[in-house]
Structure 1
Amino acid sequence: MPRKAPSQEELEKRKIISVNAENVSDVTSTDYPGHWPGEDHAWDLDFFRSNLRIEFHQNDPLLASFSLIGVDASIANAFRRIMIADIPTLAVETVFINNNTSVIQDEVLSHRLGLIPFRGSREGLDKFLKWWKRPADGADPNNSYFDYNTVKLSLHVECTFNDDAAPGETDPTRLYHNAHVYARDIVYEPIGRQDRYFSGPDAIAPVHPDILIAKLRPGQVIDLSMHMHKGVGSDHAKFSPVATASYRLLPTIDILSPIVGADAEKFARCFPPGVIALEKVTRAEAAQRGTGYEGREGEPKAVVRDAMRDTVSRECLRHDEFRGKVKLGRRRDHFIYQVESTGQWESDAIFLEAVAHLKEKAMRLEQQVVNMVR
């Protein structure tokens, strides 16, 4: 016979991973069929919809922080991996060096150029530019470069003396012209129909124009051209749309018995600023028996203000005076994401694109399973 359905308190308890002084326990997911005898945990769309939530904490073009609540760790990690490795961007793939007399070797210079993030029209990047295919051995490579799969850039900088420099000047940027080569010195050269999509404020340009590429001295020259192609992070990190894409589980802090006075102040110092607050014991609390606040009116007591700020250092568990008074944990279905865009995609759009990619992967898998059964 099926046993009695678990209470809401029991269900919430199952979602907590216990963080102990020496180990972490209750790490196994429990929302699968057969894990709890007599309980049906088969996946249900309506139940999933009612529990799924997304809460944004910060949403800037280059940085987003949000909570994804109500999913399994496998799904949360799939989104993270897709954001890093599967969302396409543009990056320098081929560098044609005509002249490089700087102190930076050709291959190092090419690598630095490949890591510079570029921005451009979202419509042009998504709908106009297609994948570039490497030509077959023996084929003419010029027949593989078109306006819809290749973006051309050039960089021509020569360092010369500044005749107007003040006597005794020692700053190279004032002594010479073009002593420093920056990303803003790269010139976009539209070909074919590209000017329809990439012009004016939507032209392809470095996200951060002040990225230092090289330092030159009089007589040194960098003269080269570049081809940019679409790629994904699984091929090379330069194509990844994110600088970082990570998540962590929501920390939980339960104060089991009152922590008052000097102990409360010490307890607050065990956590990052803003996690624990100190409040004064009220007269009503001090008058109640059995609360632990008897006769402590006006003294500071420790309360949890914002557990999300906690880094789960477990510092409080090292002190004997807090033993048995606090319980630390993490919520297994609450993932706090931090997504830092390199600039070609807006940070929140990266996550939405990851959702679309996962949906497409699931549809392809479904079709493959159907074909296999047939």
Structure 2
Amino acid sequence: MAINSFISILEFHNSIPPNLELQRTRVSYASDAPMHTGNILYSGAYTEMGVDNSLCFDEFLKNFRVNVISLEEDEMEFDMIGIDASIANAFRRILIVELPTMVIEKVLIANNTSVVQDEVLSHRLGLFPFNVDPRLFEYMSKTDTPNEKNTIFFKLNAQCGRKGNCLTVKYNELKWLPNGSELEMGIELEAHAVKGLGKSHAKWSPVCTTWYRMPAEVMLLQEVKDEKAEELVKKFLVNVFDIEDIDKGRKREAVARLRLCTLCRECIRGDNKEKCVALRHVKDHFIFKIESARALPPEVLFTKVIKILEEKCERVITELT
């Protein structure tokens, strides 16, 4: 009996108590504010319990995984599980500002008698996304001469004639929609698209937007039945909860569509709601979405992001050794 008790004490000593494990891995939500939002990174945080909290690469490889939820021509949504928020944010930042694209940088206007000023026209041309693989081109420095290796040349010559004959300049002519005028109007210009990074100017960003969020974890702490269940389901527009039929015509509430949860916290507001529902976030699980600006497919963009982050880590390791 004494030996069994001693073994039980050792097993408890080498594990984290459930309440601390919940704080370590989850962000809990009360009706007024979230709790335990930070990550515990100190390796000796649980030393007294016999638990090593240091980062183990083998453990990371075992737990980390990526699940692709949807993949379209310009959008990609996937789950990254088993990483810290800082790494997820590094992916997002690299996607926005450190992947090159081809964008118009110089506009040489020979003639512009339209109602659109030269600087406005140049700005609009600079924001036009081109479906061009930037890996086929070189960066152009200030001393380089534009050539086919570092520049894409465009020319636009649009004439709408005299008053009453308005012309719509479409995307295949460098998209622009002019207004009519009584004067004879026209545009003749040459545009140079060069390779650049989003950290120099937002127009070079390869994504329309990219974001991530932690998925919600909704736990029913007790059964909600009949009228109370129907009342709770009707409160939500995103249909996170659903109704299940149980015996003798009775009904109860069930969590049906977790990915739709927006953390509005309506399910834990009100009298005794927090006793029925626990609302949490998983700290190492991220729903990541990439919306490409069409220069490259989103899956290619994310592959390049991983390579850039790997190069950054290698540079840091080299400088420290």
Same fold by TM (over 0.5)? yes
1:111-130 equivalence runs, <5 A: 111-120=123-132, 122=133, 125-126=134-135, 128-130=136-138
- Which residue of structure 1 lines up, in the alignment, with residue 61 of structure 2? 49
1:179 aligns with 2:167: yes
Aligned residues: 308
- Which residue of structure 2 lines up, in the alignment, with residue 223 of structure 1? 188
Alpha-carbon distance in structure 2 between the residues aligned to 1:318 and 1:106: 55
1:247 aligns with 2:259: no
Q: CA RMSD in A?
A: 2.2
1:93-125 alpha-carbon deviations (Å, 9 max, x no partner): 0101111112111111101000000013x3xx3
Q: Which moved more, 1:7-16 or 1:212-221?
A: 7-16
- Which residue of structure 2 lines up, in the alignment, with residue 150 of structure 1? 151
1:211-360 equivalence runs, <5 A: 211-217=175-181, 219-281=184-246, 283=247, 297-320=248-271, 322-360=273-311
- Which residue of structure 2 lines up, in the alignment, with residue 165 of structure 1? none
TM-score by length of 1: 0.77
Deviation at 1:337, TM superposition (A): 0.8
Alpha-carbon distance in structure 1 between the residues aligned to 2:233 and 2:283: 25
Secondary structure in structure 2 of the residue aligned to 1:180:
coil
Deviation at 1:41, TM superposition (A): 2.1
Alpha-carbon distance in structure 1 between the residues aligned to 2:18 and 2:300: 35
Alpha-carbon distance in structure 2 between the residues aligned to 1:271 and 1:68: 27
Does structure 1 conserve the Cα–Cα contact (< 8 Å) formed by 2:30 and 2:274?
no
Does structure 2 conserve the Cα–Cα contact (< 8 Å) formed by 1:109 and 1:213?
no
The structure 1 segments of at least 4 consecutive aligned residues displaced by more than 4 Å after TM superposition are 7-13
- Which residue of structure 1 lines up, in the alignment, with residue 6 of structure 2? none
Alpha-carbon distance in structure 2 between the residues aligned to 1:35 and 1:272: 41
Secondary structure in structure 1 of the residue aligned to 2:16:
coil
Does structure 2 conserve the Cα–Cα contact (< 8 Å) formed by 1:267 and 1:316?
yes
- Which residue of structure 2 lines up, in the alignment, with residue 71 of structure 1? 83
Does structure 1 conserve the Cα–Cα contact (< 8 Å) formed by 2:216 and 2:261?
yes
Match of residue 99, structure 1, among 97, 105, 111: 111
Deviation at 1:230, TM superposition (A): 0.6
- AA aligned to 2:85 is A
Alpha-carbon distance in structure 2 between the residues aligned to 1:212 and 1:97: 15
> Unmatched 5+ residue regions in structure 2?
1-9
Deviation at 1:66, TM superposition (A): 0.6
Aligned-residue identity in percent: 31
Alpha-carbon distance in structure 2 between the residues aligned to 1:151 and 1:49: 43
> Unmatched 5+ residue regions in structure 1?
136-142, 163-174, 187-210, 284-296
TM-score by length of 2: 0.89
Alpha-carbon distance in structure 2 between the residues aligned to 1:214 and 1:44: 60
Secondary structure in structure 1 of the residue aligned to 2:249:
coil
- AA aligned to 1:144 is T
